[in-house]
Amino acid sequence: MARPKVSVIGAGQVGQMVAEHIAIKELADVYLFDVVDGAAKGKSLDIMEGLPHWHSDSFLEGYTIGPNGENYENLKNSDVIVITAGMARKPGMSRDDLLFKNVDIVKSAAENVKKYSPNSIIIVVTNPMDIMTYTAFRIINPNPKRIFGMGGTLDSGRFMTFVAKELGVSVEDVQAFVVGGHGDDMVPFVRYCSVGGIPITELLPKEKIDQIVARTRNGGGEIVQYLKTGSAYFAPGISTTIMVESVLKDKKRVITVPAYLSGEIGKHYGVEGFFVGVPVKIGKEGVEEIYKLNFTPEERKLWDISASHVKENVEKVNKYLNL
Ligand code: APR
């Protein structure tokens, strides 16, 4: 049986990590696309030449995207397309500063996805992620189940890491997730965070939990401050890969992703027609189920702030793109 095909648009730091993890796990053949001449080709060869030692037969290929979209035709028949193309955050730059620069980049990628492989499952990584997922959605116009963003899973991983390290327990026993926009006002969902089934509210004092929540919210910024010339890519690479894996193996992982909220579920969350991070089930059809969280008044307030920030940016994009 042929291996599935995953295409990664943007062969930068995150794109290369995604390609490497998918290949090491032999989940798929991977095709990298980038505008920088030779970058995708060189990286795909470099990854593939290490695979004999990991016992992986994944095939990789890289393409330079020409000024008129040349080589994008190689997207065709992709099972999954990951969009990481864009500019990374620089120190002092908020995710939102990137907005219009990355709208242009994601728009051009999305137009080619629509042209060559509109039925793929699409995972958007470019920041600001909720908005870039919306941008790609509006251009491609796919079944909304088949497109989602990466953010919540990355933020949840950060939350789990900090809880595990604080308590000195295995990360395997920590259950934690983050909802809302993938921005500074994301909502680490403390009430459902547990360690071996025990609520963290019984294991840690409020001040400690507050510190963990603040560090989670600033997780991306903390790394940018250290790196100075780029943003996080190891954890984003892993977070994206588990989503690809859940689609390709139809694993039905329950994780948080920016998902399209509309209709009845949208009404529940107070969101109509755009993407915000919520717990979902990911399988071969993409977002196969969106779960309802019953917020306390306090949680609802935090959610509303985060969702309204996403909405503001959605409106800016609508105006920018004349939608
Ligand atoms: N089409 C395809 N690729 C593009 C385009 C384009 N129009 N414009 C830029 N790229 C490529 C760049 O050449 C670069 O290789 O996208 C890649 C982005 O990689 P990096 O700059 O290394 O950024 P990275 O750290 O991978 O982050 C990518 O993911 O996490 C988010 O905030 C992050 O938005 C950023 C994105």
Longest Cα–Cα distance in the chain: 58
Instruction: Looking at the structure, tell me whether residues 168 and 104 fall in a common domain.
Output: no
Query: What's the pLDDT tens digit per position in 245-276?
Result: 999 999 999 999 999 999 999 999 999 999 99
Report how far ligand 1's centroid is from the alpha carbon of 102 (Å).
Answer: 9
Tokens of 118: 């509109």
Pairing outcome for strands 29-34 and 194-195: unpaired
* Residues 123 and 230 placed together within one structural domain of the fold: no
Write down the pLDDT at residue 109: 98
E-state strands within the chain:
5-9, 29-34, 60-64, 80-83, 121-124, 147-149, 174-175, 178-179, 187-188, 194-195, 198-199, 253-261, 274-283, 286-290
- The sign one gets for the Cα dihedral 164, 167, 172, 177 is negative
Q: What angle do CA 20, 18, 52 make, to 5 degrees?
A: 15
Of 55, 22, 88, which Cα lies nearest the Cα of 243?
Answer: 22
Residue in 61, 60, 112, 59 with CA at minimum distance from that of residue 85: 112
147 and 158 together in one domain:
no
36 and 98 belong to one structural domain? yes
31 and 144 assigned to the same domain: yes
Is the CB–ligand 1 distance for residue 227 below 6 Å?
Answer: no
* Together in a domain, 212 and 280: yes
Inter-residue contact 240 to 25 (CB < 8 Å): no
Q: Do 195 and 227 fall within a single domain?
A: yes
Q: Is 131 in the pocket of ligand 1 (CB under 6 A)?
A: no
3-state secondary structure of 206: helix
Residue 173 is part of a domain; what is its CATH number?
A: 3.90.110.10
pLDDT at 89: 67
Enumerate residues 6+ apart whose C-beta is below 8 A from 52: none
Predicted local distance difference test score (pLDDT) of residue 250 = 98
| Residue 302: its H or E element | helix 297-320
Whether residue 233 has its Cβ less than 6 Å from ligand 1? yes
Final residue in a domain of this structure, among 98, 125, 151: 151
Q: Assess whether 22 and 127 both reside in one domain.
A: yes
**How would you write the pLDDT of the chain (323 residues) with one tens digit per residue?**
689 999 999 999 999 999 999 999 999 999 999 999 999 999 999 999 999 999 999 999 999 999 999 999 999 999 999 999 998 666 777 666 778 989 999 999 999 999 999 999 999 999 999 999 999 999 999 999 999 999 899 999 999 999 999 999 999 999 999 999 998 899 999 999 999 999 999 999 999 999 999 999 999 999 999 998 888 999 999 999 999 999 999 999 999 999 999 999 999 999 999 999 999 999 999 999 999 999 999 999 999 999 999 999 999 999 999 98
193 with 298, same domain: the answer is yes
> What is the set of active-site residues?
182
Total domains in the chain come to: 2
CATH label of the domain that carries residue 95 = 3.40.50.720
Residue 123, ligand 1, Cβ within 6 A: no
Alpha carbon 177 to its chain's center: 14
Ligand 1 atom at minimal distance to the Cα of residue 127: 34
**Which of 29, 24, 3, 20 lies closest to 84, judged by CA?**
20
Ramachandran assignment for 192, one of left (phi > 0), alpha (psi -120 to 50 degrees), beta (any other): alpha
Q: How far does the centroid of ligand 1 lie from the alpha carbon of residue 88, in Å? A: 6
Among candidate residues 151, 169, 199, the one where a domain is terminated: 151
| Ligand 1 binding pocket includes 167 (Cβ within 6 Å) | no
Query: Closest ligand 1 atom, CA of 233?
Result: 25
Q: Give the number of C-alpha atoms closer than 13 A to the C-alpha of residue 268, restricted to the C-beta side.
A: 12
Q: Are residues 133 and 205 in the same domain?
A: no
- How far is ligand 1, taken at its centre, from the CA of residue 190, in Å? 32
Closest ligand 1 atom to the C-alpha of 109?
Answer: 1
178 neighbors 156 (Cβ within 8 angstroms): yes
pLDDT for 2? 86
Last residue of a domain, one of 121, 136, 151: 151
Confidence (pLDDT) at 229: 86
- Determine whether the shortest distance from the Cβ of 9 to ligand 1 is under 6 A: yes
Q: Do 112 and 38 belong to one domain?
A: yes
Residue nearest to atom 20 of ligand 1 (CA): 12
Distance CA 231, CA 224 (A): 5
Distance in angstroms (rounded) separating the CA atoms of residues 85 and 274: 21
Atom 27 (ligand 1) nearest CA: 88
Note whether 80 and 130 are same-domain residues.
Answer: yes
- Residue 289 identity (one-letter amino acid): E
Beta bridge partners of 279: 256
Is the C-beta atom of 94 inside 6 A of ligand 1? no
Ligand 1 centroid – CA 11 distance (Å): 7
Q: Which domain holds residue 216?
A: 152-321
